[in-house]
Chain A
Amino acid sequence: MLTLVLDAMRETVRRKFVPAAAILTTAATLLSVWGFWSLAHLHTAAGRPISFVEMRSTTAVLVIFGGFLFSFVLAFGAAVLAAPALSTDLESGLLLPILARAIPRQRIVVSKIAGLAIVLGIYAATASVLELCAVYVTTGYIPPNPPAAILALWGVSAVLLSLTMALSVRLPALASSLVAVMGFGLAWMIGIVAAFANVYHNATLARVGVISQLLLPSDAMWRLAAYQLEPVAMLGRNGGFGPLGPFSVASPPPPAMAWWTVAWCAGIIALACWMFARRDA
């Protein structure tokens, strides 16, 4: 099993996914340093430096916004990495000599997911720490609970990874990544709409939001991450931009949702294993 996990990880490095991500992340971090340094030295129209509170609240909103963009990068990255891992490798014949070995097919699926999940986890942690260091050095701000936020962001990628891998057992790579990313976007939009439920006390909307999070828990993971990045002073206020939207979470998903996400991923991976074991190569 370890052989296949390491092989999946090596593939991401050798096929330039990791080097490309490293270069782009370094560039994004350097831009952030410049951006947050500029923010810290902004002046109002009246010519006075912006206040400490203004600077901190704007930084907090920007960090959450950056976190959201990063969750999209992770989700998209997970889909792109997972989509060809089974379908393309099977169609091209790359997997045939491995499938003909005396190893259960389930082990191949689980190893590939584990290898990619580790790579995404290392990337999520490294890029997040770099970005948060950049923010801290330039503005002195640090979000309330970065480790929990990073874990939740990695959860977003784990959801997409599991879903795309399961889809790729039956669908070509392009279709499976497209379906997974569309599902991610749809869940995110439903999450925004469901946020109205809290404002207007609409039980139906709230139910739709919960059902959506149960069906595809990526939005729940994002909301958990956003909550962990949100200072207490601005919980649910969206940095003064109103109570709605994806960048403002008044209360996080219940802890059971985190466990549901773990169970959901395990269930989807089990389904992928079951389908892959029955697929003709």
Chain B
Amino acid sequence: MASSDAAIDSSSLTKAYARNGPLAVADLTLRVEAGCVFGFLGPNGAGKTTVLKMLLGLTTPSSGRASLFGTPIGIPASRRGVGYLPELFRYPAWLSARETLALHASLANVVRSVRDAEIERVLALVGLDHAGNRRVGTFSKGMQQRLGLGVALLGNPRLVFLDEPTSALDPVGRADVRDIVGTLRDAGTTVFINSHLLTEVERICDRVAFFRNGDIIAEGLIADVVRAPSGVSIRTDGADEAVVARALRPFGAAEFVSGEIRLADIDSARVPDVVAALVSAGVRVREVGSTTYSLEERFLELMSSAC
């Protein structure tokens, strides 16, 4: 039985587009708590969009089960209070932005008496208040993506799926999306983001999952994911690399990255010994901490190790 605390709860979700064909998604078990901003990362063709489409009932799973807020996917009720910005965002060129939002406000059952106000709120939120009456056909890609974000946010959904939400946006637009996601988090909205822009994900997500070949290969809080399993990083006052390497030889091979000394696979109980060895070699130690990767480094490491 799915827990009602989970915005998304899937178990052994599998998708093969052809009978006996390769699995686009293999046995996916995933849980996203309500109110979490969740990043779903993976290379092209990993199956991220397929997962998202299955959760939204756009594609039928081959096997397994999943639910949104406890309601099984595939039935319309599971999509109540859910917003979606597709990766392939296209809206009717013959409608104005305001008409597009009015259509979706009606489909999202936004109460008629507040519909106009809601449309104006969303137009302002995504920065299209100056272009509300313009036909979508005259919009740039970035404006269309902003409109798609607006469509996804109509009616204050409790769960929002954003598939590559900043792919067509300039740096200002990306900053706007970051702000909007921050606002959603503050409001307790669950946000599920598929993205390749790892720096964006690192800045806006609480948790991430790395997805490859149809399966999750790592998942956790951003802070845990970027922290090396048992590494230590040391900053010194410009110590000679040869001296450091010699002093640390008993603890393993030292790496020198961006002015930092990194030691991998070292037990935390041995960290005082490491510092003592450096000090006795005449090195002035300024800072000692756990090794952290950027999300991009971690992504590349995980993807190459999963090959």
- Chain A: residues with CB nearer than 8 A to chain B? 3-4, 7, 10-11, 14-15, 92-94, 96-104, 278, 280-281
B46 within 8 A of A: no
**Does B59 contact A94, Cβ atoms closer than 8 Å?**
no
**Does A11 contact B94, Cβ atoms closer than 8 Å?**
yes
Which 3 pairs of residues, A with B, have the shortest CB-CB distance?
A14-B94, A93-B88, A281-B58
**Does A280 contact B58, Cβ atoms closer than 8 Å?**
yes
**Does A278 contact B60, Cβ atoms closer than 8 Å?**
yes
B interface bracket (residues with beta carbon within 8 Å of A)? 20 to 34
Q: A278 to chain B: which residues have CB within 8 Å? A: 60
- Among A4, A92, A98, A102, max chain B CB count under 10 A is at A102
**Does B76 contact A102, Cβ atoms closer than 8 Å?**
yes
- Tell me the B32-76 residues at the A interface (CB within 8 Å): 53, 56-60, 76
**Does A11 contact B92, Cβ atoms closer than 8 Å?**
yes
Inter-chain CA distance A10–B152, complex, in Å, is 23
20 residue pairs from A and B, CB less than 8 Å apart: A3-B106, A3-B107, A4-B107, A10-B94, A93-B88, A96-B84, A96-B88, A97-B86, A97-B104, A97-B152, A98-B104, A99-B56, A100-B56, A100-B58, A100-B84, A100-B161, A101-B79, A102-B108, A280-B53, A281-B59
Interface string of B66-102 (1 = CB under 8 A from A): 0000000000111111101110111110110000000
Q: B106 to chain A: which residues have CB within 8 Å? A: 3
Q: B95 to chain A: which residues have CB within 8 Å? A: 10, 14
B148 within 8 A of A: yes
Inter-chain CA distance A232–B181, complex, in Å, is 74
Q: A11 to chain B: which residues have CB within 8 Å? A: 92, 94
- Chain B: residues with CB nearer than 8 A to chain A? 17, 53, 56-60, 76-82, 84-86, 88-92, 94-95, 103-104, 106-109, 148, 151-152, 161
How many residue pairs, one in A and one in B, have C-beta atoms under 8 Å apart? Answer: 75
Q: A14 to chain B: which residues have CB within 8 Å? A: 92, 94-95
Q: Which residue of A lies closest to B56 (CB)?
A: A100
Inter-chain CA distance A98–B86, complex, in Å, is 11
Inter-chain CA distance A11–B11, complex, in Å, is 41
Inter-chain CA distance A281–B54, complex, in Å, is 10
Q: Which residue of B lies closest to A94 (CB)?
A: B90
CB < 8 Å neighbour of A3 from B58, B76, B92, B103:
B103
Q: Which residue of B lies closest to A280 (CB)?
A: B59
Q: A100 to chain B: which residues have CB within 8 Å? A: 56-58, 79, 82, 84, 86, 161
